[in-house]
Amino acid sequence: MPEARVNPGAFDGRVHVFPLRVYYEDTDAGGVVYYANYLRFAERARTEMMHLLAKEYGRLVADGALAFAVRRCEADFLGPARLDDVLEVRTTVTEARGSTVAAEQVIRRQGREITRLKVRLACINRAGRPIRVPAELRHALNTVMS
């Protein structure tokens, strides 16, 4: 059976752009996206960005060799998204060194910012201890920042 196709988004210069649609499951009783789901959208976009940047990423995560844990997240909610809206998550890596990666993410609806996030990730091993970001991935992250 052929592998399912996933839209990983694409890079527009230094910015990874990831499109997504708001589904019923993303909304509250009023049809508005529940605030925690913006964090899920951002996580999904970062994961797809990592898959584009490093071929080994999926294997390393699946093997338990590494994971990224959110160490800090700052979010500004500027406007609501609703059922069936088409959103765009724009991710810019701002730092990649040692065992940390920092990124700024903007979620847009029809070109207008509705959420801004600043995220700091810690690269960890299976035991939850910090480890260095693998060289191939760190190189790819640094290339995207230039």
Question: Rounded distance, CA 46 to CA 5, Å?
Answer: 18
DSSP-derived pairing of the beta strands 15-21 and 100-109: unpaired
Catalytic hit among 12, 28, 76, 84: 28
Chain centre to alpha carbon of residue 80: 19
Q: Sign of torsion, CA 89 94 95 100?
A: negative
Query: Of 92, 133, 109, 129, which Cα lies nearest the Cα of 38?
Result: 109
Q: Any catalytic annotation for residue 26? A: no
Helix (H) or strand (E) holding 126: none
Backbone phi, psi, residue 108, to 5° = -120, 150
Q: Which residues carry out catalysis?
A: 28
